[in-house]
Amino acid sequence: MDKRIRQIVIVGGGTAGWMTAAALSRFLKDGYTKITVIESEQIGTVGVGESTIPQLRIFNKMLGLDENDFVRTTQATFKLAIEFVDWTRLGHLYYHPFGPFGLDMDGVSFHAYWLRLHQMGEAPDLGEFNLQSVASRREKFMRPIKAGNSPLSNIGYAFHFDAFLYARFLRKYAEDRGVVRLEGKIVDVALRGEDGFVDSIALESGQLLAGDLFIDCSGFRGLIIEQALKTGFEDWSHWLPNDRAVTVPCASGGDLRPVTRATARPAGWQWRIPQQHRIGNGYVYCSSFISDDEATATLLANLDGEPLAEPWKLRFKAGRRTKAWNKNCIAIGLAAGFMEPLESQSIHLIQVGISRMLALFPDRDFEPADIAQYNKFMIFEFEKIRDFIVLHYNATERTDTPFWDYCRTMPIPDYLQAKMDLFQSRGRIFRENDELFNDTSWFAVMFNQGLRPRSYDPMADVMPVEELRSRMLHIQTTIANSANHMPSHRDFIAQHCAAEKPESGRVFQRAAPLNG
């Protein structure tokens, strides 16, 4: 008996819907199944610009996309790091880079050696031991080249792009591979009486669409996963109290550093995402500590150029669905959960949801063990990213506003507390079960935001101090010389992937309000 999934219905377009459709059309080919995306032009998409992490390159490569074409089409720029301003204390700045600090030596981590020198009062700035940090400060960028043991052989990078243009880019990709798009608003979801599975959906036009597998990419509305299936939502606002954002694009101005800038504000933080045709900006804040009007005024007072649209306000709630896969519905993107994009993880969570779905792709039996494993994967991914984001708020010296007092003193998840306790002992960090953020990421945020180990790994004492000084100077010099070799970010784009001017009148894609 043929139990294959023959009809997949994706509810919602945007970044999540079209990433899902593109991936499925790439692998479920040769008539395996029919894929339909239901999308309404009347419903906007969340996001006016996206900042990503290097894992997106894997997704684009999986689809066989030409990177220069992708960059041109989405008005993208490159990204080497996140620049954190005023998080530790006012006037403080550090980078969380895409790439390791230094290199491990004789089986001992670079972090241990650097902490040894730091406790001796001799360690140069941590950022000088990371090529992406140095290049970011100098507005440099290049892709990795074959250069032997040079840091230029292994440059990790990501992108800033226009989310609307990326979705449109992937829509064409998917439709070229047989995906069908239906325009329309969903007015009803019919469930099967015998098992509660989704049977069909009804459009405002009166059309009924049946399916075997439904993928909910409807954003916070969770049209199927929550409104129809009543899956449930786990609220994390006690750890991540920000519940609103105001966004606005502005004209390009100032530098074109290959970084996302996250600037801590009195009641949250402001993002700056440089693209080729504009800069995306937003202030994520907690409405218990600042009014919407005050937040909007703060954002508008801190732009690099002229605003290109009216500010747009969003509401949201941090947390996740209790199950991302419920019966024959899989929630992808905001429908599965939301965390403010402080570490540019939003698209990554879409990508993980898609990759895990492909790894556990069902037939019409929908085996419970497969569903349970998918939910286990996604709970782990969400919770470990959550704890890393909470770290940024809790590890701070700021006492200047009630918001930062709350964040600095709030109870934190047990997993995060254990990570912090271990680090404050001897500076040790261990990556567990392939969690997204590695020891470099945790070290960058923990140390730069004021956590100080009482000691360091005793194994670092095996190396004679004079040899350690010599090796550290060599690493520092090699990274500086490598950055000297790199062209400017602006020149690299101009040479390889400069975009045409944007369409007249389309400089901003209005986002739909989030209704948590």
- Give the catalytic positions in this structure: 79
233 within 8 A of 320, measured Cβ to Cβ = yes
Instruction: Tell me the Ramachandran region of residue 108: left when phi exceeds 0, alpha when psi lies from -120 to 50, beta otherwise.
Output: beta
What are the C-alpha distances in Å from 85 to residues 259, 282, 398, 444?
12, 15, 12, 14
Structure tokens, 304: 């690099």
Q: Is 141 helix (H, G, I), strand (E, B) or coil?
A: coil
- Rounded CA-CA distance 472/116 in Å is 12
513 within 8 A of 334, measured Cβ to Cβ = no
Structure tokens, 199: 């049977």
Cβ-based burial of 434 (10 A; exposed 0-12, middle 13-18, buried ≥19) = exposed
Give the single-character DSSP code of 330: E
Q: What phi and psi values does residue 145 have, to the nearest 5 degrees?
A: -125, 170
199 within 8 A of 191, measured Cβ to Cβ = yes
Which of 112, 100, 101 has the alpha carbon at shortest distance from 468?
A: 112
Cβ-based burial of 63 (10 A; exposed 0-12, middle 13-18, buried ≥19) = middle
Structure tokens, 405: 């007092």
- Rounded CA-CA distance 261/271 in Å is 6
Beta bridge partners of 304: none
Q: Give buried/exposed letters for 389-404 (b at 16+ CB in 10 A, else e).
A: bbbbbbbbebeeeebb
Q: What DSSP assignment string belongs to 348-390?
A: HHHHHHHHHHHHT---TT--HHHHHHHHHHHHHHHHHHHHHHH
Quote the radius of gyration of the chain (alpha carbons, Å): 23
508 within 8 A of 308, measured Cβ to Cβ = yes
